[in-house]
Amino acid sequence: MKGNTGAVDLGHSVRNPLRSREPECHQCDLHSCNLGNGLSPEQLNSLNEIIHIRGPFQPGSAIYKMEDHFKSLFVVHSGSVKIQNVMSDGTKVVEGFYFSGDIFGMEAIGNKQYHYDAIALEPTWICHIPFEQLESLCCFNAQLQHRLLELLGQRIRQAHTIIGRGRYMKTDERLLLFLESLCKRKVMKDVVSRHESIYLPMTKGDIASYLALCPESLSRALRKLQDKGVIRNHKNRIEILDVDVAFNYICN
Amino acid sequence: MKGNTGAVDLGHSVRNPLRSREPECHQCDLHSCNLGNGLSPEQLNSLNEIIHIRGPFQPGSAIYKMEDHFKSLFVVHSGSVKIQNVMSDGTKVVEGFYFSGDIFGMEAIGNKQYHYDAIALEPTWICHIPFEQLESLCCFNAQLQHRLLELLGQRIRQAHTIIGRGRYMKTDERLLLFLESLCKRKVMKDVVSRHESIYLPMTKGDIASYLALCPESLSRALRKLQDKGVIRNHKNRIEILDVDVAFNYICN
DNA sequence: CGACCTGTTGAACTCCGTCAAGGCGTGTGG
DNA sequence: CCACACGCCTTGACGGAGTTCAACAGGTCG
């Protein structure tokens, strides 16, 4: 097991008020992604010791790039991240969004390199979890191993939900499925009964790409749903006017 | 760690010439899915001890159903398997195919139940790997843990390839991507230079569903590619007339 | 101010899904 | 043996959803 502290470094201008350990940060990670669930205090400590926080990553800057050597998993401490693929013709394909507490980078496990670019969508702080060290910890810690496997299973199911189930849906159904998944992932917490407002750190273009639509089609779908009174479309926010109606709509 | 031998039992008419351990079988599993790579003989033995083989499952019969309690991962020993989702309106959506040596059931990790039906496509023998016991083994065996994580990472990437990358492709490109993935997965091994013949144990309808197409569209795409001289379409077999042409076609 | 990026709207086209019909192979029952 | 039904696949015609192309509105930044 290597003792290096320097996970992935992309040469960003990282001003580092938090480069040294910050207990609050660690608690947050462990809580929000539940990686540390059911661990004893000592076990928790050893987990905390391998975690490092980096930031702020400015919007548009890369946490990692496709070609980078796979070393670490990541947890969004604050802010948000998209992962995307640059195709041979230069078009960018967004494959996922991650928000505070989400773990990402798992697609790269078992590979030399990351398979996507990970790009910050807003000023973002990221926790690095060196994978080799995590693996070593898991060998002596059944709970941690179990939790990691669980997260990987979730990740597989997630891939099959949005991009799997979504394939058979029409544009507006797919859009609502996406909004529903955002709501479930507590992108925002102030749920006022059957009405939600979702803040969207990504561009509409990113969303369109993620849903395998052209931006125009997404725009039209938003308009259509707004005219129907299901949602209200704002610049960086979408209101779900009636959660029940919106998310049952999917089954029609 | 429980010592139960009876992984998932669906009440099929399992005639069991191989119910007792069969060394040849175990070797095959470990080799083909590489779960046992780099293990010492003793470690290999402990892995072998938790594995059981079942079969034959007749075409159309279930290895597991969605509602079944998640207990085991599976490896195709011989034959082939599809996993599918039955939607609320009764339509079946194929989410994956597995062939000799492939491990499946990993979507269920971290869940109480399996999320798909797993259906045999031809007379099929299946190895059961009780998951709790596998987890326990991993705790004392870094190599095995590493290999399991690797397989999970692969599984995520696989989901993103076909159903992820495929979303942005046109019908015939998607079809060729599928055929390419079959070739890579050594569905058949007799590669005669730039010419391959792929045996398809599933129906064209299953393939269409997997590719998110209606059967008619698949049929037309096959015809179109045949007219272009890229492939030749048979009942249960597709020939790739020129591998290079066919699989570079995707980038057009 | 103009350049630029994101998002929106309109019009034309294209691909693919839907509907309908028919061919082929297989199994069943007379 | 044939007749028939059934499932699977194919083919054709049609329509609709979504892409493409083009133009423009609004915001941001130099």
Joined tokens for residue A188: 């925002």
The string of DSSP codes covering B16-28 is: -TT-S--HHHHHH
- Per-residue confidence (pLDDT) for residue A87, from 0 to 100: 82
Which stretches of chain B sit within 8 Å of chain A by CB?
85, 87-88, 93, 95, 106-111, 115, 135-136, 138-142, 145-146, 148-157, 159-160, 163-165, 167-168, 212, 251
Distance between CA B77 and CA B74 in Å, rounded? 9
Strands A80-86 and A117-120: antiparallel
User: Is residue A108 within 8 Å of residue A77, measured between CB atoms?
Assistant: no
Residue A10 has pLDDT above 60, yes or no: no
Residue A251 has pLDDT above 70, yes or no: no
- Per-residue confidence (pLDDT) for residue A197, from 0 to 100: 86
- Give percent of chain A above pLDDT 70: 81
Is the CB atom of residue B223 positioned under 7 angstroms from any atom of strand D? yes
Cβ contact, residue pair A107, B160, below 8 Å: yes
pLDDT in tens, chain B (252 residues): 433 333 333 333 333 333 333 334 444 445 556 677 667 788 788 888 889 899 789 999 999 999 999 999 999 999 999 999 988 777 889 999 999 889 999 999 999 999 899 999 999 999 999 999 999 999 888 889 999 999 999 999 998 887 778 888 999 999 999 999 988 876 445 555 567 888 999 999 999 999 999 999 999 999 999 999 899 999 889 998 878 777 775 543
- Name which residue leads in pLDDT, B8 or A53: A53
Q: A155: which chain B residues are within 8 Å (Cβ-Cβ)?
A: 156
| Total-model pTM | 0.84
- Per-residue confidence (pLDDT) for residue B104, from 0 to 100: 95
Is the CB atom of residue B226 positioned under 7 angstroms from any atom of strand D? no
Joined tokens for residue A214: 């052209």
Is the CB atom of residue A84 positioned under 7 angstroms from any atom of strand D? no
- Per-residue confidence (pLDDT) for residue B86, from 0 to 100: 87
- Per-residue confidence (pLDDT) for residue B72, from 0 to 100: 96
Beta strands in chain B (DSSP E): 52-57, 62-64, 72-78, 80-86, 92-99, 103-104, 117-120, 124-130, 196-199, 231-233, 237-240
Q: What is the pLDDT of residues A88-147, one digit of tens each?
A: 777 889 999 999 889 999 999 999 999 899 999 999 999 999 999 999 999 888 889 999
The string of DSSP codes covering B237-248 is: EEEES-HHHHHH
Joined tokens for residue B33: 């899915």
Nearest CA distance, B61 vs chain A (angstrom): 23
Nearest CA distance, B159 vs chain A (angstrom): 7
Residues 133-172 of B, Cβ under 7 A from nucleic strand C: 170-172
Cβ contact, residue pair B167, A168, below 8 Å: no
Is the CB atom of residue B218 positioned under 7 angstroms from any atom of strand D? yes
**C1' (D25) to CA (A235) span, angstroms:** 14
Which residue in B has a C-alpha nearest to residue A90's C-alpha? Answer: B251
Cβ contact, residue pair A154, B95, below 8 Å: no
Cβ contact, residue pair B139, A136, below 8 Å: no
> Which nucleotides of strand C are protein-proximal, with an atom < 7 A from a CB?
6-11, 15-20
Is the CB atom of residue A122 positioned under 7 angstroms from any atom of strand D? no
Q: B208: which chain A residues are within 8 Å (Cβ-Cβ)?
A: none
Closest CA to A185 of A172, A196, A169: A196
Residues 175-204 of A, Cβ under 7 A from nucleic strand C: 203-204
- Per-residue confidence (pLDDT) for residue B76, from 0 to 100: 92
- Per-residue confidence (pLDDT) for residue A23, from 0 to 100: 34
- Per-residue confidence (pLDDT) for residue B164, from 0 to 100: 75
Joined tokens for residue A36: 């540390």
Burial class (CB in 10 A: 0-12, 13-18, 19+), A25: buried
**C1' (D26) to CA (B38) span, angstroms:** 61
Cβ contact, residue pair B95, A164, below 8 Å: yes
Residues 142-171 of A, Cβ under 7 A from nucleic strand D: 170-171
Cβ contact, residue pair B115, A150, below 8 Å: no
Joined tokens for residue A159: 């891939």
Joined tokens for residue B40: 């010492």
Cβ contact, residue pair A163, B168, below 8 Å: no
B238: which strand partners? Answer: B198, B233
- Per-residue confidence (pLDDT) for residue B23, from 0 to 100: 35
Among the partner residues A145, A152, A163, nearest to B163 by beta-carbon distance: A163
Cβ contact, residue pair B146, A135, below 8 Å: yes
User: What is the b/e burial string over A144-160, where b = at least 16 CB atoms within 10 angstroms of the residue's CB?
Assistant: bbbbbbbbbbbbbbbbb
| Mean pLDDT for chain A overall | 81
Distance between CA A28 and CA A24 in Å, rounded? 6
Distance between CA A99 and CA B226 in Å, rounded? 46
Residue B250: other Cβ atoms inside 10 A? 17
